[in-house]
Amino acid sequence: MKTSFVSNLAVQNAMRLTLQQSQLELMKLQQEMTTGVYADTGTALGSTTSRSINLRTELDRLKNIKDTNALATQRLSASQGALTTMRDSVQQIRSQLISAKGTEDKGKLDTAHTTFVNQMSAFTAAANTQFNNEYVFSGINSDVRPLTDYSAGSPAKAAYDTALANFQAANGNVQLKDFTPAQMNDFIKNSLEPMFLGSGWQGTWSQASDQNIQTRIGPSEVIETSSNTNTTGVRQFMMAAVISLELMKPELSTAARDTALSAAQDHLESGLTGIIQMGAQIGVSEGRIKSSNSSIDNQVKLINTHILDIEGVDPTETSSRLTALKTQIEISYTLTARIQELSLINYL
């Protein structure tokens, strides 16, 4: 009969390996108790893992849409703030036009002229508002400054000066101070209106695109989330401002000046209506984004519930396994300590 011997070192190594595996399992169970879901979803779910992956992919997509909505909302909010400034400029010019009607007081006319200059600059600055380094009224040309400044040397000023010079030449080199009401009306109708309300606007006065930014605000909903300076409201205001600035000077006859003033008032009212409509359209977009975000929040809650149903652990079962494993590890520690005490010296 042959006797085989097993060293206590071999037993200790076997116990050490078992202890390491138990500690790893303990860490996994502790994680599951804390998070409420499987530590290793793939191992736990097997073939049903694809359902969890699909749900999490949809969850990420909805979160990305909501992040995009946040940027769109901020851009629309910046646009609304700019439109408020633009409406204020319209109101300021309107007040000055009313007070200047029929007056021959050079002081009043000079004051009105100063107001026209300042408010036209304020309007242009507001129309060139930027958010996140993008111009909010440039349409899809968001990297291009949309509205041209009306100042000496600018394309807009040069276009006006050319139109005036051409009209004067066509009418016997008539000077501006000698314009009759009929000539003033002719100049405004046939020289200025095509410049602002026709094809002359694009490229000279505005660099914006007619096409606005489109944003997907929901899984199946795409809306416009910007505006542009090619709208009728902006065109009408700029025409009214230029008429007020250039054609209501003290040296003109009262009749010619009043003709220009009436034209400016008409275009200003149309401009105000158009700018209010721009604000209303932006407000509609803001409302649709808000509704979409509420819908996305509800979908996210529903998907999270489904994910928890698939990946969630039974807390009672996990707690029982955790307690049993702790007991097992404590026993392993005790056995290991006793095995380490075995030696031939102690036997002898």
Q: What are phi and psi of 172, to 5 degrees?
A: 70, 35
| Residue at 53 is within a domain | no
User: Can you tell me the distance from the alpha carbon of 84 to that of 90, in angstroms, rounded to the nearest whole number?
Assistant: 10
We report the CATH number of the domain holding residue 176 as 1.20.1330.10
With vertex at residue 309, the alpha carbon angle to CA 291 and CA 307, rounded to the nearest 5 degrees, is: 50
Residue 343 has pLDDT above 90, yes or no: no
* HEC-encoded secondary structure of the chain: CCCCCCCHHHHHHHHHHHHHHHHHHHHHHHHHHHHCECCCHHHHHHHHHHHHHHHHHHHHHHHHHHHHHHHHHHHHHHHHHHHHHHHHHHHHHHHHHHHHCCCCCHHHHHHHHHHHHHHHHHHHHHHCCEECCEECCECCCCCCCCECCCCCCCHHHHHHHHHHHHHHHHCCCCCHHHCCHHHHHHHHHHHHHHHHHCCCCECCCECCCCCCCEEEEECCEEEECCCECCCHHHHHHHHHHHHHHHCCCCCCCHHHHHHHHHHHHHHHHHHHHHHHHHHHHHHHHHHHHHHHHHHHHHHHHHHHHHHHHHHECCHHHHHHHHHHHHHHHHHHHHHHHHHHHCCHHHHC
Half-sphere exposure in the Cβ direction for 65 (13 Å, CA) = 26
Q: pLDDT value at position 242?
A: 96
Whole-number mean pLDDT of the chain?
A: 84
What are the tens digits of pLDDT across the range 227-249? 999 999 999 999 999 999 999 88
pTM exceeding 0.95: no
User: Can you tell me the distance from the alpha carbon of 265 to that of 276, in angstroms, rounded to the nearest whole number?
Assistant: 16
Q: pLDDT value at position 100?
A: 85
139 within 8 A of 209, measured Cβ to Cβ = yes
Residue 176 has pLDDT above 60, yes or no: yes
Percent of the chain with pLDDT over 70: 74
Q: pLDDT value at position 274?
A: 96
Q: pLDDT value at position 22?
A: 56
For residues 199-215, give the mean pLDDT. Answer: 94
Match 């489109």 to its residue by tokens: 214
Most confident of 47-51, 246-250, 262-266: 262-266
Provide the pLDDT confidence category of residue 214 given band limits of 50, 70 and 90. very high
User: Can you tell me the distance from the alpha carbon of 31 to that of 237, in angstroms, rounded to the nearest whole number?
Assistant: 65
Provide the pLDDT confidence category of residue 338 given band limits of 50, 70 and 90. low
Residue 118 has pLDDT above 90, yes or no: yes
Count of structural domains, the chain: 1
Residue 154 has pLDDT above 70, yes or no: yes
Q: pLDDT value at position 50?
A: 72
| Residue at 210 is within a domain | yes
Q: pLDDT value at position 335?
A: 61
**Count of CB atoms situated within 10 Å of the CB of 59:** 16
Residue 297 has pLDDT above 90, yes or no: yes
196 within 8 A of 239, measured Cβ to Cβ = yes
| Residue at 327 is within a domain | no
For residues 219-227, give the mean pLDDT. Answer: 93
Give the CA diameter of the chain. 138
Q: pLDDT value at position 250?
A: 87
Which letter, b or e, does each residue of 252-288 get, where b requires 16 or more Cβ atoms within 10 Å of its Cβ? beeebbbbbbbbbbebbebbbebbeebbebbeebbeb
Termini Cα distance of the chain: 25
What are the tens digits of pLDDT across the range 155-172? 999 999 999 999 999 999
For residues 193-211, give the mean pLDDT. Answer: 93
82 within 8 A of 137, measured Cβ to Cβ = yes
Q: pLDDT value at position 51?
A: 76
| Residue at 131 is within a domain | yes
Domain that holds residue 177: 64-294
| Residue at 17 is within a domain | no
Q: pLDDT value at position 152?
A: 87
| Residue at 80 is within a domain | yes
Q: pLDDT value at position 104?
A: 84
What are the tens digits of pLDDT across the range 321-336? 656 656 666 666 666 6
Distances (CA, A) of 331 to 12, 36, 47, 100, 320: 14, 28, 36, 100, 17
What are the tens digits of pLDDT across the range 56-108? 889 999 999 999 999 999 999 999 999 999 999 999 999 999 888 877 888 88
| Residue at 333 is within a domain | no
Residue 12 has pLDDT above 60, yes or no: no
| Residue at 334 is within a domain | no
